[in-house]
Amino acid sequence: METTSAFMQDEWTLPNDFKLIAGVRYYHVKTRLDKTEGSRHNAGENSAHSRFVKSLGITWTGLPHTTFLW
Contacts of 39 (CB under 8 A, 6+ apart): none
Q: Is the pTM of this model over 0.85?
A: no
Q: What average pLDDT does this structure show over 49-66?
A: 94
Q: Are 39 and 48 in contact (CB under 8 A)?
A: no
Q: Are 25 and 5 in contact (CB under 8 A)?
A: yes
Of 40 and 14, the one with more pLDDT: 14
Per-residue pLDDT of 29-53, as tens digits, reads 998 877 777 667 676 778 899 999 9
Least Cα distance to 30 among 48, 45, 43 occurs for 48
- Average pLDDT for the chain: 90
* Per-residue pLDDT at 48: 92
Q: Are 20 and 61 in contact (CB under 8 A)?
A: no
Q: pLDDT at residue 9 above 80? A: yes
